[in-house]
Structure 1
Amino acid sequence: MSGQWTADDASRHLRRPTDRDDKYSRGVVGFRTGSAQYPGAAVLGVEAAWRTGVGMVRYLGPEFARALVLQRRPETVTVDGRVQAWVVGSGTPVEPDETDAATRAVREIFAGRAPVVVDAGALDHAVGAAAPCIVTPHDREHDRLRSRLGLDPADGDEREASALHTASALRGVVVLKGAHTIVATPSGWSTVVASGTPWLSTAGTGDVLAGVIGAVVAGALATGAGGQDRRVSSGELGELAATGVWLHGRAATVAAQARGATGGPITALDVAEALPAAVAEALARTP
């Protein structure tokens, strides 16, 4: 256990762009998120990734969600191509149509080498995946994932131990969402992130979190347009996930405090729009 993840910890995993950077060297994150039922999940995740400071976002989801993404963020690229990280599952069905082309594309992502941030409807795909995975369940989803892994339901009083157990069985990073979010890796490392606010308990904030983590991972692994993207250990992936969680929580706190000294109601989009301030705060701690 490394203790509580702080702004200083987060700052070590963020990089201020230089004159030598281009959109590729700052990282490219790909999204297969959203559905006809939940198109807003795609908009929120893509918005969060852009606001975190990634160089490019590729969105490859359903047509209706794609139209909404482009309306909100016209700079988004909607053709396939190289990425350093994927975000999948936000706003997608828990039981997808196995004959659907989009489902087959998601399976290819899990069979690949790029890290995958796995949310909501795609959590089952993480079991047995070849790609390095960061799963982002809340407590109910965590129990479903544990069942899929053949494990007993989590002990609600021992969330950290349960998250570590799941990470070991999954061989991936677990981000167990809550008032105090636990990040656990298969090697037995864990940390607590408590940068958020109770106002964060509102629809869509999980979609924002997935986008933030995807952007942080892509930015950390990018090496430029011509180079080979470097590989990442599960330990580093855990620290990158914790950094994303810290930024998400801090952005929520900034957004809530903008409503008054004691905070006020916020929406998921408010959190996404406050991310640049959270990133700048962390970068200010870098020498």
Structure 2
Amino acid sequence: MGAMAAREWNSADTAAVITEPTADDDKYSRGVVGMRTGSTAFPGAAVLGVEAAWRTGVGMVRYLGPARAADFVLARRPETVTADGRVQAWVIGSGTDAAHRSALELAALRGILSGAVPVVVDAGALDLASRASAPVVATPHGREHARLRGMLGLDPDVDDPSGTAAALEGVVVRKGATTVVAAPGEDAIEITAPTSWLATAGTGDVLAGTVGAVVAGIVGRGTSPHDLGALQRAAASAVWLHGHAAALAVAAHDGGPIAALDVAKHLPYAVAAVLAG
């Protein structure tokens, strides 16, 4: 995994990042996450990511995506705002395909990636990550990570998230049975999934929404969007919450299989467990 040491992330580490709202908080200080995810072909990805962001405890979710996906998002989570406006973090790419991206969509994504707030770059937007000027948290799985390395001029056959993060000048969440969260100049963080039932369609969309929510939360509380160490810790905390939510969902089903929405539904319990210490 590269030359730098890696450390395990745990509940106490996550507790240092996640905070309970106080009487002084409003929806903006709690974080507003903007999501440009999903597509006419894959509207479910938008629903899963938005659900996860709300369930992680963000102040507001703005969803800007295709009408079909927006209709499903609002049917599931009517709290969601479907108008553009102020955000503290973006999530892009989940449930999209770069091969079917319109010129209008490309322009919108490039605008987000040249903005001032952190951008969680997932799935179908990863091809744009290397040209971003905004702070980036890329969330590739193994094959996507190899492609990202190739785009950065690195050897795609070497699985070195720390090297990728250094070349990207951003955070890399290399997803797998053990997820590695790397940032330039920081030791890599490893989180091993507590259950293999997580290997099911849509859990990556849930994770992207979770990462976006935690990042928006720290920026809402005043963390600099350019503090890559803080973004790394936020991303690692989101990965930990996602895994713990999956374990809780499996337990709720007596050890049986789960679907991605079950993981999102159990995120509040994972957050509660962290806050309870």
From 247, 260, 265, the counterpart of 1:268: 260
From 217, 220, 226, the counterpart of 1:219: 217
1:127 is the counterpart of 2:130? yes
Q: Do the aligned partners of residues 232 and 259 (structure 1) sit closer, same or farther apart at CA in structure 2, a change above 3 Å counting?
A: same
Q: Is the 8 A contact 2:21 2:30 kept in 1?
A: yes
Provide the secondary structure at the position in 1 that maps to 2:22.
coil
Q: Which moved more, 1:185-194 or 1:110-119?
A: 185-194
Structure 1, gaps ≥5 residues long: none
**Equivalent residue letter for 2:20:** R
1:84 is the counterpart of 2:88? yes
Counterpart in the other structure of 1:252: 246
Counterpart in the other structure of 1:50: 54
Q: Do the aligned partners of residues 220 and 229 (structure 1) sit closer, same or farther apart at CA in structure 2, a change above 3 Å counting?
A: closer
- Give RMSD over aligned pairs: 1.3
Counterpart in the other structure of 2:73: 69
Q: d(CA) in 2 for partners of 1:98 and 1:180?
A: 35
**Equivalent residue letter for 1:248:** H
Q: Is the 8 A contact 1:96 1:103 kept in 2?
A: no
Provide the secondary structure at the position in 1 that maps to 2:189.
strand
Deviation for aligned residue 1:168:
0.8
Deviation for aligned residue 1:97:
3.4
Q: Is the 8 A contact 1:48 1:275 kept in 2?
A: yes
Q: Is the 8 A contact 2:118 2:225 kept in 1?
A: no
**Equivalent residue letter for 1:233:** D
Please give the per-residue CA displacement for 1:12-42, whole angstroms capped at 9, x wherever unaligned: 0011011111111111000000001100000
From 178, 181, 184, the counterpart of 2:182: 184
For residues 1-287 of structure 1, what are the structure 2 equivalents within 5 Å?
Answer: 1-97=5-101, 99=103, 101-155=104-158, 159=159, 162-223=160-221, 230-260=224-254, 263-285=255-277
Please give the per-residue CA displacement for 1:224-252, whole angstroms capped at 9, x wherever unaligned: xxxx8743411111011000000000000
Q: d(CA) in 1 for partners of 2:201 and 2:149?
A: 24
**Equivalent residue letter for 1:256:** V
Deviation for aligned residue 1:57:
0.1
Please give the per-residue CA displacement for 1:116-137, whole angstroms capped at 9, x wherever unaligned: 0010000011102100000111
Deviation for aligned residue 1:96:
4.4
Q: Is the 8 A contact 2:179 2:193 kept in 1?
A: no
Q: Following superposition, which runs of at least 4 residues in structure 1 exceed 4 angstroms of deviation? A: none
Q: Is the 8 A contact 1:189 1:235 kept in 2?
A: no
Q: d(CA) in 2 for partners of 1:180 and 1:230?
A: 28
**Equivalent residue letter for 2:215:** V
**Equivalent residue letter for 1:128:** R
**Equivalent residue letter for 2:176:** G
Q: Do the aligned partners of residues 138 and 231 (structure 1) sit closer, same or farther apart at CA in structure 2, a change above 3 Å counting?
A: closer
Structure 2, gaps ≥5 residues long: none
Q: Is the 8 A contact 2:135 2:225 kept in 1?
A: no
Deviation for aligned residue 1:2:
5.0
Q: Is the 8 A contact 2:7 2:187 kept in 1?
A: no
Please give the per-residue CA displacement for 1:156-186, whole angstroms capped at 9, x wherever unaligned: xxx4xx1111111111111010111000111
Q: TM-score, normalised by structure 2?
A: 0.95
Q: d(CA) in 2 for partners of 1:66 and 1:280?
A: 29
Q: Do the aligned partners of residues 239 and 154 (structure 1) sit closer, same or farther apart at CA in structure 2, a change above 3 Å counting?
A: farther
Paired-residue identity, %: 58
Please give the per-residue CA displacement for 1:202-260, whole angstroms capped at 9, x wherever unaligned: 0000000000000000011114xxxx874341111101100000000000010011111
